[in-house]
Amino acid sequence: MTRPIEQLIRRGAIHRDVYCDPAVFDREMTHIFDRTWVFLAHESEIPSPGDYKTTTIGRHPVIVNRNDEGEIGAFINRCRHRGPTVCRNELGNAKFFRCPYHAWTYNNAGELVGVPMPQGYGADFDKSRLGLVHVARVASYAGFIFGSMSAHGPTLEDHLGGVRKFLDAYVATSPTGEIGVYKGYQKCVYSGNWKFQLENGVDPYHVGALHASAVTPEALAIYRQGKGAVIAMDGHGVTDHTDWGPMPVDASLSGGFNLVIFPNLIVLRSQIRTVRPIAVDRTEIITSVVKLKGVDEAVNLQRMRDQEFEFGAAGTFFADDLDIFERTQQGLNSSAVDWLEFSRGLDREEMRNGYMHGFMSDETQHRGMYANWMAMMTAATPGIAEAAE
């Protein structure tokens, strides 16, 4: 690491090492992803006993599932014998997970229940001590399942803080108060830092330039009229459009609000995105389409078509975003200039209802996210050894 973590952020500016230094990335894995609440799945992806989904928490492969009693849990997807992952499928239903290497077998509660030729082990060999390692804490809010590798720290509700009301409102768009996620994902990998996608998820300022070919002048006029706000909320980011009213907003900008729930979840009008860091300059984005329960299927079909048009692999917005993420990484690889400007709106943001608010084109939400990032990166970190077994 070229400089101390504490020197990477200053008022209204961020050092390029935050995006380019592999040592910073390694520290993010231990001090953020090994410590805080990380989004795993939506409950609708694993609705029945035995259902599972494979995902990650930082560098840890994870299985999130329901056991035979329907209880939600999560385990490290790693055999306790020699280490291979025990489940390779993304989604499925299973009573058992069997390691392909030596056939050690675990039930869907994570217990080791089968070892070939057990007589080869000594008398003190105890299967009860060799179950899959549990993710220390698993909790759900409004159908969104999160896991934490640390047995200590804030509860999930405390971690979410003020964004809970936005998640509540998001779910309430369904007449039944329930949403679901279609089984099937759009995945893509870009050559850039994982935080670019988080910043961009709540960055209205870029829309008029980067997406100029897809957005109407009437929609862009909203930003100039001061409607809406960006909010720094408990380390997360919000763009709140709820006071736009009956203005001529095109479909690409409608929907009430965008949420970034640090460190890996983005909630948009008809989709949720999971951000998976792979390396300091390599990131996977996993997109799921959200359906509303209790509406005519034609409504959900239109939501899916909107998603494909705007954020599909060849969509009007998504291709622009991926391109700019990679161009940004390329630019930051140059050490000619060390500091990036994050000062927009710094002198006009204001505290309202306990949270800092800025204009729709400001960077208030980004400064809040990086204040939280710095607090995590400089704090004493509970170890992985505290994960429950």
> Could you write out the DSSP letters of every residue in 230-279?
EEEETTEEEEE-TT--S----GGG-SSEEEEETTTEEEETTEEEEEEEEE
With cut-offs at 50, 70 and 90, classify the pLDDT of residue 2. Answer: confident
* Structure tokens given for 344: 């927009």
Half-sphere exposure of 38 (CA within 13 A, CB side): 30
Task: Compute the residue count for the chain.
Answer: 389
Say yes or no to pLDDT of 218 above 70. Answer: no
Instruction: Give CA–CA dist 110/329, Å, rounded.
Output: 40
Say yes or no to pLDDT of 258 above 80. Answer: yes
Whole-prediction pTM: 0.93
Q: What is the CA radius of gyration of the chain?
A: 22
* Structure tokens given for 356: 């800092």
- Please write the tens of the pLDDT for every residue from 304-362: 888 787 777 777 788 899 999 999 999 999 999 999 999 999 999 999 989 999 998 89
Over residues 262-270, the mean pLDDT reads 95
Are 231 and 364 spatial neighbours (Cβ–Cβ below 8 Å)? Answer: yes
On the 0-12 / 13-18 / 19+ scale of CB atoms within 10 A, 126 is exposed
Identify the sign of the CA torsion 3, 8, 13, 16.
Answer: positive
Over residues 241-259, the mean pLDDT reads 51
Angle at 378 between CA 340 and CA 64, to 5 degrees: 95
Say yes or no to pLDDT of 370 above 50. Answer: yes
Q: Among 18-32, 208-222, 247-261, 314-328, where is mean pLDDT lowest?
A: 247-261
Over residues 46-60, the mean pLDDT reads 98
Over residues 124-151, the mean pLDDT reads 97
With cut-offs at 50, 70 and 90, classify the pLDDT of residue 1. Answer: low
* pLDDT at position 269: 85
- Please write the tens of the pLDDT for every residue from 104-125: 999 999 999 999 999 999 999 9
Q: Among 216-220, 286-290, 294-298, 315-319, where is mean pLDDT lowest?
A: 216-220
Over residues 5-20, the mean pLDDT reads 98
Nearest to 378 by CA among 9, 45, 51, 72: 9
What per-residue string of b and e applies to 331-367 under the rule 16 or more CB within 10 Å gives b? Answer: ebeeeeeeebebebbeeebeeeeebbbbbbbbbbbbb
Helical ranges in the chain per DSSP H: 17-20, 22-28, 156-160, 164-171, 195-201, 207-210, 217-224, 297-311, 318-332, 364-377
Over residues 293-311, the mean pLDDT reads 86
Mean pLDDT of all residues belonging to the chain: 90
Highest mean pLDDT among 221-230, 233-242, 355-364: 355-364
Q: Over pLDDT 70: what percentage of the chain?
A: 90
* pLDDT at position 337: 95
Are 259 and 237 spatial neighbours (Cβ–Cβ below 8 Å)? Answer: yes
In sequence order, which residues have a C-beta less than 8 Å from that of residue 270 and are 6 or more positions away?
Answer: 255, 289, 290, 303, 304, 306, 307
Are 201 and 176 spatial neighbours (Cβ–Cβ below 8 Å)? Answer: no
* pLDDT at position 175: 92
Say yes or no to pLDDT of 387 above 60. Answer: no
What is the three-class DSSP state of 75?
Answer: strand
* Structure tokens given for 120: 């080869």
Q: Among 140-149, 160-169, 305-314, where is mean pLDDT lowest?
A: 305-314
Over residues 74-101, the mean pLDDT reads 98
In sequence order, which residues have a C-beta less than 8 Å from that of residue 113 and are 6 or more positions away?
Answer: 96, 105, 106, 107, 127
> Could you write out the DSSP letters of every residue in 7-58?
GSEETTEEETHHHH-HHHHHHHIIIIITTS-EEEEEGGGS-STTEEEEEEET
Over residues 121-134, the mean pLDDT reads 96
Q: Which domains does the chain have, with CATH numbers?
A: 38-140 (2.102.10.10), 169-377 (3.90.380.10)
Say yes or no to pLDDT of 11 above 80. Answer: yes
Are 146 and 40 spatial neighbours (Cβ–Cβ below 8 Å)? Answer: yes
Say yes or no to pLDDT of 248 above 70. Answer: no
Angle at 297 between CA 296 and CA 302, to 5 degrees: 105
* pLDDT at position 15: 98
